[in-house]
Amino acid sequence: MAGKNFKSGIDGLLQASTSEKKESDKKIRKGIKATYYYDATQLDKIKAIAYYDRKPIGKVIEEALEEYIKSYKNLTKAQKLKR
């Protein structure tokens, strides 16, 4: 009867879960980390909206940017200039 090999033990399990987590983080995080400064009045309003809607502040800002981008009339021209 062949015995099981338990050489990796708990360390093997931890390494597998850690590497799996890193892979899932890479799939979720597609954006670039950046710092922005907001007017205090604007930020207070964003915080109020986030609290009222029970959303993270970043999600509220992301949704607002998406709406702005969708409504921007010269997006194609701006993208060509950027290149």
pLDDT in tens, the chain (83 residues): 566 655 555 565 555 555 555 555 555 667 788 898 989 999 999 999 999 999 999 999 999 999 999 999 998 888 888 77
**Considering its fold, how many domains does the chain have in total?**
1
Residue 14, in any domain of the structure: no
Quote the domain boundaries for residue 82: 32-83
In this structure, the chain runs to a length of 83
Residue 55 lies in a domain: yes
Instruction: Round to whole Å and give the CA distance between 3 and 37.
Output: 61
| DSSP codes of every residue in 9-57 | HHHHHHHHHHHHHHHHHHHH--S--------HHHHHHHHHHHHHHT--H
Give the tokens for residue 2.
């062949």
